[in-house]
Structure 1
Amino acid sequence: MNSSASIILRKKPNKKGLYPLAIRITKFRKSTYLFVGHCIEQKYWDDTKCLVKKSHPYAGRLNTLLLTKLAETNKILLELQAERKDYSASQIKKEISFKNRNNNFFDTADAHLKEIRTSNNYGRLSVDKAIIGHISKFNKSKHLSFLDLDENYLKKYIAYLRNKPTISERTIANHLVLIRLLFNRAIRSGLVDGKFYPFGKDKIKIKFPEANKVGLTREEIKKIENLRDLTSEQHHARNIWLFSFYLAGIRIADVLKLRWSDIYDNRIHYTMNKNSKLVSLQLPEKVTNILREYIENKREENDYIFPELKMIDPSNKKKIFDKSKRANRVINAFLAEIAEKAGITKKLSMHIARHSFGNIAGDRIPVQMLQQLYRHSSVTTTMMYQSYFINKETDKALNSVIDF
């Protein structure tokens, strides 16, 4: 077929004065180029070896990428020759691009995001999209083959994240979980051999640090209940927080989506946004008292109880998510002011309502019952919410030993 492939540095610089690395495909003296997504200064190019010089800080990675791409291109050229397909250089390029289009980590990532968007899971979409954005920024290119995504690459990425003051160890673990998920997807799709899997024994291990979300005590909650001289915004934020706490720590997204039609037979019925599990809880008198403050704004039976989503089309899932997210930030800001007025030094946020209920429940109800209230699949997850009770028990055990 008289076709060949070679590694080259294109001698046409971009706007930044950098030169693109490429695979040149030639047939009958006509050439076309497959760009690998990286550019370098001309001084780093070795014309004799047709590789990046070792003086370049990423020479090893770039040369591995170039040689891998050259091998992939030659393999496809041989396949086309075996099939006796007589293609021009530009047609060969299209064929190679077609066969390799899903070998890119970011192509698999885009497919993953598209699936989440289709399912209207905007919370997950927001988190995963941000993680993929971090990876793209670190990679400095929208091309990353799964072969390049090895243990050394991941170790450098972890170090990169740890240099970001706003990124916690828990967030780093979440990044690795998503990368692992996408790598497994690529293996199942036949895009990469399982032997290149960078996770597991003697490889990259994902460790989740223990959460340090401290719930409030009964005394602290009473302080919040008894606060006076609150602004209308602070009063509303307190109502939302206490409503959540009184009902076993309902998540803020679920609280804001509750409708008057969800209340019947002196119970509140709703579907958890996070896992689609059904919940039915009896209404405590304290919750009924809060509801009385909002009944006068009820326009119809299917109206939202709280005002944040009243003007939003219920069928517009994206707007509901965005509005709920903004409302959570606003409410948390007012909760911080409430904590200061109450003399509480612990962080007060909507999610702390859930931890506060778990802490106080620890010495009152069995952990299995709390698991039912939270609708957790694993009792281990539930126990994370009972740290105060667990600490109290370990303190008692410690004192029993040294009390002599």
Structure 2
Amino acid sequence: MSTSAKIILRKKPNSKGLYPLAIRITKNRRSTYKQLGHYIELEDWDSKDLKVKKSHPNADSLNNLIASKLSETRKGLIFLQTNNRDASAQQIKREIYKPKSSLTFFDFANEHLEGLQAENKINRYSTDSAWLSYIEKYCSGRHLTFQEIDECFLKKFKIYLKGSCSLSETTTMNVMVLIRLLFNRAIRDKAVSKEIYPFGNGKFKIKFPETVKIGLSEIEIKALENLTNLSETERHSLNVWLFSFYFAGMRISDVLLTRWSQIYDGRLHYRMSKNSKLLSLMIPEKVKTILAYYISTKDSDNDFVFPEMKKADLSDAMDIYRKKKVANKKFNTHLNKLAKKAGIKKKITMHIARHSFGNIAADSIHPQMLQKLYRHTDLKTTINYQANFIYKDVDEALKNVINF
């Protein structure tokens, strides 16, 4: 009666088209699966050597995680065999991964952070670490059980975050979302009972306040484009911002990692860092002018278009994160100076390039086409986002009432 454990890539993609890594436990030709919680493209999986290919940006970290989890599973199998425990594949899975009553909220929090590090999601890691520090401070330590996180705890903690910590309603709700995420994982892993779940109908509700997304108008964009007598630093900051805007509000992290090798056949081909989706966009004439500005600094086809990442240690996710953060802060400082020169009263940041594209697109472009440009998984996300910039129907309704 043979028993084995093997790492595989399951052929059941999620809503983003990514495939889950899982450990397959087989006993007497019957198998069960334990997913590792990480998803990759089908093309990034080496089915022969059973590992993540180097083409994946986090290949080394994920392969280390696979080796660790596979070793843990095999040790569990050896233990069961040593103790003559005869069981089915499903029973073996439950035995090896059975919940431990001693697992606390921070045990799951640590596992969550380790997963973010393994995937090199340093921005998310930094943010979630900060939010967890608020929980740790509130509890005067890291000894917090899920049983303690009830509706009363959440209500008092919310007051603490908004009062003592002076956090905004939005940030406070984001902290609550993290708590909910970890609670759901604990229930999924059967570490706690779903009966004590403190969120949902009739319980603690997570409700985000409405936010105002402000983008620049066509006139304001043209005012920026027509600026003259700029310093090298100002011109560079404006170029990076316009590059983002011309490519439908391309995120700053993707802008700075753009290489010359991604530009061919009159198009830009890149994988979005936020969701790993591939995108191919025509290169507008205005972008060609920006590219010409930097062509003299090109060392090779694999070189970065913009200089900020040229000295980054690409094997160190934290170094990449720091350089992006420093660059973004520098750009935002200069963009506000440029706004004054252009006579623009709105505050301009790198992220406003995305809002500006949405503002100018408004309701003139079909939502399904915008969904392709933004690479949103759900059309509802696109519609909800564009709702921030569509005023035509409201304005017409107002006119119809008061024009008498």
Query: TM-score normalised by the shorter chain: which range applies?
Result: 0.7 to 0.9
Report how far residue 100 of structure 1 moved. Answer: 4.8
Report how far residue 384 of structure 1 moved. Answer: 4.1
Partner of 1:167 in structure 2? 167
Note if contact 1:370-1:382 (Cα within 8 Å) is conserved in structure 2.
yes
Report how far residue 232 of structure 1 moved. Answer: 1.5
Note if contact 2:246-2:287 (Cα within 8 Å) is conserved in structure 1.
yes
Q: How many pairs were matched up?
A: 306
Note if contact 2:158-2:172 (Cα within 8 Å) is conserved in structure 1.
yes
Provide the rounded CA distance (Å) in 2 between the counterparts of 1:108 and 1:190: 12
Partner of 1:356 in structure 2? 356
Q: Per-residue displacement from partner, 1:212-250 (whole Å, max 9, x unpaired)?
A: 120000011111111122221111110000010011000
Provide the rounded CA distance (Å) in 2 between the counterparts of 1:165 and 1:392: 40
Report how far residue 136 of structure 1 moved. Answer: 0.6
Provide the rounded CA distance (Å) in 2 between the counterparts of 1:166 and 1:250: 32
Secondary structure in 2 aligned to 1:294?
A: helix
Provide the rounded CA distance (Å) in 1 between the counterparts of 2:389 and 2:204: 34
Provide the rounded CA distance (Å) in 1 between the counterparts of 2:219 and 2:114: 47
Secondary structure in 1 aligned to 2:270?
A: strand
Report how far residue 211 of structure 1 moved. Answer: 2.4
Provide the rounded CA distance (Å) in 2 between the counterparts of 1:163 and 1:234: 39
Report how far residue 355 of structure 1 moved. Answer: 0.6
Output aligned runs, 1:277-316, within 5 Å.
277-316=277-316
Partner of 1:269 in structure 2? 269
Partner of 1:369 in structure 2? 369
Provide the rounded CA distance (Å) in 2 between the counterparts of 1:279 and 1:123: 22
Partner of 1:115 in structure 2? 115
Identity of aligned residues (%): 52
Provide the rounded CA distance (Å) in 2 between the counterparts of 1:181 and 1:389: 31
Q: Per-residue displacement from partner, 1:29-60 (whole Å, max 9, x unpaired)?
A: xxxxxxxxxxxxxxxxxxxxxxxxxxxxxxxx
Output aligned runs, 1:138-157, within 5 Å.
138-157=138-157
Output aligned runs, 1:198-217, within 5 Å.
198-217=198-217
> Could you state the TM-score of these two structures normalised by the residue count of structure 2?
0.73
Report how far residue 163 of structure 1 moved. Answer: 1.6
Report how far residue 210 of structure 1 moved. Answer: 2.1
Provide the rounded CA distance (Å) in 2 between the counterparts of 1:363 and 1:192: 47
Note if contact 2:269-2:278 (Cα within 8 Å) is conserved in structure 1.
yes
Report how far residue 327 of structure 1 moved. Answer: 0.9
- Say if 1:107 and 1:165 are closer, same or farther in 2 by CA, change over 3 A: closer
Report how far residue 191 of structure 1 moved. Answer: 2.1
User: Does 160-169 or 110-119 show the bigger shift?
Assistant: 160-169
Provide the rounded CA distance (Å) in 1 between the counterparts of 2:182 and 2:146: 10
Report how far residue 164 of structure 1 moved. Answer: 5.3
User: Does 360-369 or 165-174 show the bigger shift?
Assistant: 165-174
Provide the rounded CA distance (Å) in 1 between the counterparts of 2:232 and 2:165: 36
Note if contact 2:169-2:208 (Cα within 8 Å) is conserved in structure 1.
yes
- Say if 1:346 and 1:225 are closer, same or farther in 2 by CA, change over 3 A: same
Output aligned runs, 1:91-240, within 5 Å.
100-102=101-103, 104-163=104-163, 167-240=167-240
Q: Per-residue displacement from partner, 1:241-283 (whole Å, max 9, x unpaired)?
A: 0010011000000000000000000100000000000010000
Unaligned runs of 5+ in 2: 1-98
Tell whether 2:297 aligns with 1:321. no
Q: What letter is aligned with 1:186? A: A
Report how far residue 385 of structure 1 moved. Answer: 3.8
Note if contact 1:101-1:107 (Cα within 8 Å) is conserved in structure 2.
no
Partner of 1:250 in structure 2? 250
Note if contact 1:215-1:356 (Cα within 8 Å) is conserved in structure 2.
yes
> Could you state the TM-score of these two structures normalised by the residue count of structure 1?
0.73
Report how far residue 380 of structure 1 moved. Answer: 2.8
Note if contact 2:362-2:386 (Cα within 8 Å) is conserved in structure 1.
yes
Q: What letter is aligned with 1:307? A: P
Provide the rounded CA distance (Å) in 1 between the counterparts of 2:388 and 2:206: 26
Partner of 2:401 in structure 1? 401
Provide the rounded CA distance (Å) in 2 between the counterparts of 1:143 and 1:338: 50
Q: What letter is aligned with 2:294? A: Y
Report how far residue 166 of structure 1 moved. Answer: 5.2
Q: What letter is aligned with 1:323? A: K
Secondary structure in 1 aligned to 2:280?
A: strand
Q: Per-residue displacement from partner, 1:186-222 (whole Å, max 9, x unpaired)?
A: 1122222111110011101111222212000001111
